[in-house]
Every structure is written in C-alpha cells, then in structure tokens.
Structure 1
Amino acid sequence: MGSFFIPSANIARVEFFSCSRSTEAMNCAVAFCLFIVAAGTTVAAAAPPVALPGCPETCGNITVPYPFGTRPGCFRDGFNLTCDETPGRPPRLFVGDGVEVVDISLPDGTVRIHSKMLGVSNSSSSLRFNGTWSTGAMLTGNLAVSTRLNRFVAMGCNLLASLVDAPAYGMDGDGSSYASVCATLCAGPDGSELSDTSCSGVGCCQTPIARGLPSYGVQLSGLADQQSSGSSSSGFGALFIAEQEWFMRKGPFLQLDYFNSEQQSIIGSTVIPVVLEWSLDTSADRDLFRGFDDPPGPGSSSRCRSLNSVIVEDGVDGSSYGRARCNCSKGFEGNPYIANGCQDINECQQPNLYPCHGTCINLLGTYRCSSKKSIDSLPGLITIIAISAGFGLLFSILGVANITNKLKQQKAKKLRKKFFKRNHGLLLQQLIISNKDSRKVEDFQLRRIRASNKQF
C-alpha cells in the first residue's frame, strides 16, 4: 500500500492518501494534488502581515499598519503614533498633540481623526480673531488635510472666515496665502429667521479647501456693512474642517442645533471627523521603493518593497513632486511596505465581491469561474490543478505514483518466484510437460486407429 504524507505547521489536521491498487495510482495522485491546492488556499487565506515583526498591529480595535507604529523601531520617521492604554479605559490612538485617530487605510492612503470646533465670541462690533487649526501632526508633509474629502465650514451670523497657509501666516502675519474663504449672513437678529439648512451662506457657509496642509491659520472677522445696517452679530462664531460625506448627512441637524440651543455648549461638545491623506518621501524613504525612476508601462519593474505591489504617484492629495505611496497590485491585499506583504486574494471565499455562477477556482492574482459544476474529464482536471498548484508539483506527484507502481510490481514478481520454489514448482512443471507429451502420443495412436478403420 502506498501513502502520501503531508506535514505542515499551517494545517491543523494531518492527512494520508493511500492507493491500494495500481489502477488507482492516477486517481490517488490527482486527489493528492487537489489536497495540496486546498491546503495552499488555506495558507493563502491567512491574514497578511500588517506591522513589522514583533510590533503591535492594533491599538484597541484600530489597526496600525506600517509605516505607522506606536513603538520605537516600528514606524517610519514622521509616522509615530501614541496608544493610550490607561487601565480602566478603552485604548485610544493619538497623533501628535492629542488628536485622536479613529481609522487608518492603506489602500486609500487615508487617516481619519476626530477634531473640535473653534468657537469665537461674536459680541464685539470690531470682531477679529487669529488662531490655528491643526491635525496634530508635524510639518513634515507626511500627513495633510484631504482637499477632495473635506470642507471648510463656518457657522454664525455676519462672519467672514478664512483658512490661510500656517507657515506663511506665522512669518508675515498678514494671512495673504489663502487656502479657503467663506462668509455667512443672517436674515434676522441672532439668526431668529434662519430657515435655510443647506449651509449655502445663510447662517452657515462651506467651501472646498484649495491646498492640503497639516495645519492652518484661521481668521475670523465681522461683516461691517451688515453690522452698520442694523443686523446683529451677537453670539458665537464656529469654525471647523469636516469630512464632506459626514457633513452632508449631519450638517443640517448640526446647524439647527447650533441656532436653537446654547451655542457654546454645541461648540464644546461636538466631535468633527476629518480625513487626512498621507504619502512618503521618495528620497528619504527610497528603501521602500524599487525601480522608482523606471518609465511606467506593462514592462516596468517599479514596485514597492513587497512583490505584487505598485507605486501610486497620481492622486496623492496635497503633495508636491517627490512624494508617493504604495498599493498592492490588483488581485492582492496586505501591506506593500513589508517584504511579501501583498498576498493573493481568494476571490472564491468572497462571493459577494467576486460573483461566480458555477465552479469558482482561485488563481494567483485572479480567479476562474467555470460554467459547469463538475469537471467532465481527467485531462481538464489535471490542467486546472497544474495552473493552481504548478506543473512541477503535479508531475512530481505523478512521478511518485509511477515509481510506487513499479516497486509494487517488482515485489509481486519476487513473491511469485519465492512461492514457486517453495511449492516444488519445478517438479510440477516437469510433470505437466511429460503429461502433455503422453497426451500427444495417445492422440497420434488414436488417429492411426481411426484411419485404419476407415479403410475397412
């Protein structure tokens, strides 16, 4: 009896395949190949690496992928985070000076944070406010406010609100480098006749952000013409940057609460989500890129540290020349910044994302959907196995089956010779031969007698 043994630390149960007859050798080899394919699928389905070896992959329920990290040696320069694990409270993740991180996405290149409103008393007729809005990150260019996914918002009556380039604002003080500007008006004193909740200028304004930065200078001033015409500007002004999708859903309710409740309480208690985008310096982080200067195209060898990855230059929001990030190639998932971090997606295990009305076969970087629910012929099965597991593995298994059959045949031949000698086979063979000769003589005599009788 021939058996195939499969040792693997990744397989919980060890399997044996036995072939008791030579006619079953091919079927046994095919079954073994199918098992190897299934075992490989099981291993490939394991979660791909997220962080560097020995580094924490999570803080509470938030995944912390490399190049981010919470311990020395676990992050790239400018990507350090802090995991607050104070006993008695759920762990919380922070960037910079106490800005909470709620999500990090490698495929999207985004970081979601929670921020607060900036509130300004608007009781003076000569209102002027200069402040700062910050993501909490260092001014390294690694993290920046997404201009595609956020809006600058101001709420209040008769206000002119501006975002300015923080470095320029700090140097010259005039705030001339504008990133966003909007104005609000009110129909009545204190917004008492406010009915529009579209945030299109009546009590609330929103506008895109022209330039993505990690921090901004914020300016707020009253609209003198409206104040001189008798419209009141008492109360509070509120300034913030918000995720556009969130503000489309929550903005109208927030605006109603702001004008129907105590404004100072709303400003102090409302958490505002903001989306940041991040990238790497292609010079300082050159070890993460391979063939960065190669021309793009099908034959390009440019990739990130992991195999099956691509370099993303376009779409890195707010970044200048010399910055990029990485993604896994199509059909792969994981962390492209780690060696072998991009692993094959088993599409057959995700039918909602990769529909297949038939037999689903996972292949490297893709999958095949057969219209038939069964394979009609052995050659077709062997072809599919060869594609999935590799021709080398298939022919190796078939070679083992062929050698096993030959060994069985040689062993059976030796046993027949042994039993032949043990049971006096030579004497029996001589008796059989002599018996055949005597029968030949008898047959000859009988034919002669019959021929003589015919003569008479």
Structure 2
Amino acid sequence: MARFAAATLLFQAAVMAVTPHSSSTPPSMPGCPSSCGDVTIPYPFGVGAGCHLAGFGLTCDVATLLGPPKLRLVVTGCNVQAVLLDEISRRVVAACTAICSARTTVAHDDDSCAGAGCCQASIDTGLASYGIRLSSFGDATPNSSLDESASVFITDSAWFRENAGKLLDDGDKPPAVLDWGIGNSGASHGGYSCRCQHGYAGNPYVADGCQDIDECALPEEYPCYGECMNRPGSFLCLCPGGTQGDARTEGGCGIAFPSLYVIALTMAYLIKARRVKKLKELFFKQNRGLLLHQLVDKVIAERMVFTLEELETATNQFDQRRKLGSGGHGTVYKGFLPNRHVVAIKKSNITVQKEIDDFINEVVILSQINHRGVVRLFGCCLETRVPLLVYEFISNGTLSDHLHVEGPESLPWTDRLRIALEAASALAYLHSSASVSIIHRDVKSANILLDDRLTVKVSDFGASRGIPIDKKGVTTAIEGTFGYLDPEYYQTSRLTDKSDVYSFCVVLVEMLTRKKPTVFTSTENASLIALFNLRMMQGKLYQILDPQLISEGMETAEEFAALASACLSLKGGERPTMRQVEMRLERLLGPNLVIEVEQGCSTEVQCTLTQMSNGNSRQYSMEQEFLSSATFPR
C-alpha cells in the first residue's frame, strides 16, 4: 500500500507542476502535512485524519522505490516461448522459453524454474500495460496449437518464490505489484475531478481557491502587443487607438482605414490652410502696394485695413441671409464688428484685374471724402485677390426701392425734392474738390442710399475717376448703366463732370414719373428720356407725370421738370454744372420761389441757369475733411 501511495503522490506532483496556481492558494489543510518527501500534497489529498476528503487519504512512505525488480515474467509449459512487449513502442521488455516433454518434469520451486518446463525473467521497466506474444516450437507443427497446460503471468518476485509450487498445483491466481499503475489518463470507472474554470488557477477543492489569472502580468504566457486589459476569467488585448488588427500577434496592428481617412483629411486641410495663408500674404502684398501707391498718406491706409478673419466673423462666413443686395461691382453683406458697429461689406463677384483696380480705386476715392451725403468707408481687407470694402451701414434701402413700390403712392413730393437736393449737394462736392474733381460715372437711383430719416448717402464709387481741376475731362473706357448713361460720353468716350449731370437728371425724371429708365419703353417705342423730352416740347407733361404729384405739388413739379430737361441736353456744354443744379433745387425748396426773367432769355429755366453760370462755383477744401475721415474709429 505504501508503494501504491508513493506512486500516487508522484503522479499528483507531476500534475500540479504543470498547472498554474495562485500563490495565495493553501497547499493543504491547516495543521496537516503539506508534503511527503519532496512531493507537495494539495487538498483534497492529505495524510492523516481530517486532512483529506473521503477517499483521498494517503499514506506517506518515504522508503525509496529503487532496488531489485519487484515483478517477473513467468512461463510454464512445454516448448513455449513468451515475449513481453511495450504496447506503444512494441519494444521487447522481457522474454523466456520453457522446454520439456511432459509436465511432470516441471520444477515446483523458484530455483528449479530455470527453463525445464518453467522459465522466468525479471521486468525492470514499469509500464501501464503490456503485450504478450506466445509461440511454440520443437515437436509442434506450424498448424498445431499451444500446449493447453501452458500459462504465462506477471507476479511479485517474492510471492513466487514462496508459492510457486502451490500456484502450479492448485492453479491459484498470482498477485502483482502495481507501483506504476496510476498514470496521467482518464479512468473508466465512476468518480469525479475538480478543476478551475478557464482564466482561473489555484486549488479547486478549497473555497475561493480558484483565483483570476492576471494575464497582463504574464506577457510570456499571454503575449499582447497592444493595450492589455485584465478581466475576470479573461483579458482584452486591443490595438492602440487609430489602428486595427490582431494585437495578440506581433505586428498584427495596422492603421485603421477611418484613421487613414482622418489623417488624409487633416493633411489636406493643413496643405489648403498653408496655401490659403500664402495667397493671403501674396494678395495683401499686391493690394497693399497698389493702395499705398495711390494714397498720399500711408498712415491712413494702415488704419483702414481689416483681416479676412474679422470680416468672415462679422458676416458669419458671408451667410446668404446677411446679403443686402448685388450690383455690377459686387455683392453687399451686412456685418457686425466686435465694437458693435454695424457695417456693409462689399465682396466682388468676379476676380479679374479690372475689378481689383475698381475696388482699389474706390478705396482711394472714398478715403479722400468726408461729406454727409457720401457713404463713409471704414476700411478694406487686402487678403483676398479682390479687396473687400467695409462701409457704414445704411439701413433703409435705396431711392429706387422707395420710388418703385407697389401701389398708387410712393415718396411724398417734398421728400423727393429734399432727396434730390441732398444728392445734388453730394455730387457738387465731389466735382468741386480742391485738387481733383471726382466724377462718379454711375449715378442712378440704385446708388443713392437712404437712412432711417431718408437722408441721402451716395454710394458705389468703383467706376469713379479723378480729373485734375485744371482739366475739363479725360478720355476713358465707357462705364455706367444704360438708361442713365450720358449719350455724348457714350459716343466720344470723353468723360466730364457734365456726364454726372446728365445721369443725375435722369434720376430727376425717374422721380417725376416713377418709371425705371432701364426698362421703360413707350407705345411709340421711345425711351423714358425721349418721351419726357417730347412731352415737355408738347407741353403735355401731365401725360407722363406721376399722378401723385398732380395733387401734391404740380407747380414745383413743373419747375423741377424744366430743370431736368435743361440737364438732358445732348451736348454737355449746354448743361448746367452740379453746383448750379444744387442752387436751383435749393430755390425750389426755399420759402420764396421767385424766378427773375432776364431780357433776351427764351425760357425762365434758361435765364435762371445763365445767372447761375455767371456766379462763382463753390470750392471745397478737402484736406481737413480727409484727415477727419482718416481718424474715424473702426
């Protein structure tokens, strides 16, 4: 029994050696032997009462198992050979041959079992199972069977020495020493085994004996080449952020497609941002050079510069809901500056060199003007191919908007007179500049803005030109709006201050008739101006006049029409100056509308205009006004 127990302990020790376990698991019950020799005894096994589960008690025998072989192969019979084989490798373990002619010759003791009717052989190697190969020889024929009295068995050497004769005589069953019978294999009979669940290690026969294995702390047994996260009974091995694949395999994680997409977008954004930045720098350098080349005072230019980021923020990225209107030179957006100023920001619709020149020209023109009747320029942005212009915000639309409303009535006649006077005053100021006469070149009702009090602000100076005060005009490319365009300028390309006079008086006719010069065509297929001149010659002004004016101020309307007719002469030299037009409108609005008739004059209008032309034209000093404009806060 002791040998059996020792063999069991050796087997159990081998099993425990390959099973991971927690250092906190007790190897045996408290107060019980924990080992037998160098073999650990884990619970439920144990030595002694109360140290093991029922059926798991062991006897510790520290005697060595080494010594003479305990088993032997015994063969009895005549002419019989037995060979003992390892069933797995078919290796010969032991063999012996018994030779005789009759059973009576068989010896009855161990010493005489030496080949005559009986043979024996020691078995040195302990195996779990053996194979036996028997054969006969001598007088036996190939087809004859073995001696029926022959026997082969494995037995204990000591027992055989004492009981050989009895075994042979009585046919008793011999015992064997089973010191190798317990192996690491399953059993064919009932029983049970207890093991920890996957991911746990320790002693399953003890309460809380199975503990979670921290796989992340054992990288050699549980390799992870990513982010290791221990979990009860298992662990997670994840690829690092932005990668995907098998993190348990070296080199198994690669950049994920979404990450590549994000990286590609980021790189594209950075490249685009860098390109935009370089373009901003290039445009700023080019536009600033053009601007400073034309501006006398460089300090003014520096103070008027906005960044593109400021204007994008002010307009919410040029949101279409902030759009105020569009014209030939660009689109205007409403913007809010950080200092709470409400501004109008004009952005070009096209990016040709002419637009750049026009925008720069407008900056130059408006930076030199400080008049209550001219829209004020706050500054510009030079970081785009075509500069962006920042004006004061005029909230009440244009004269065109107010004239051409649905319904029978529009602006009252008195308001129309005052608006005409204020616009004439602003244009006269431009024409009477101390050093340079500024010709607007695109006077029309859509470029006359009105604030909440219907006060005039002349706008859109992109087409404007400066003419030295000592010159009467310049030859230039034709610009303006058909319907308002001076026919003499259109035919000769000669631009003078009288070109603005003609366009302004087209606006006067528009105010009288509430008809748009750009789209109106009469039944006689005549334009608005041609029909107006015809009705003036026929004395039938009422046929073309706005019916609202007949009841509100027919007398002044006729004088207003006479002034407009005088300004619409096809020859520029026959037209009055803007200063003369301003003075005549002042008289129409004054308390005493007295008109003196000179001898030799064919009409009252011609006489009055002659008197006006003999007077000195008013000159404006722009130096002080220019400095005032430059210091206006952004």
TM-score, length-normalised on structure 1? 0.28
Q: Which structure shows the higher strand fraction?
A: 1
TM-score, length-normalised on structure 2? 0.21
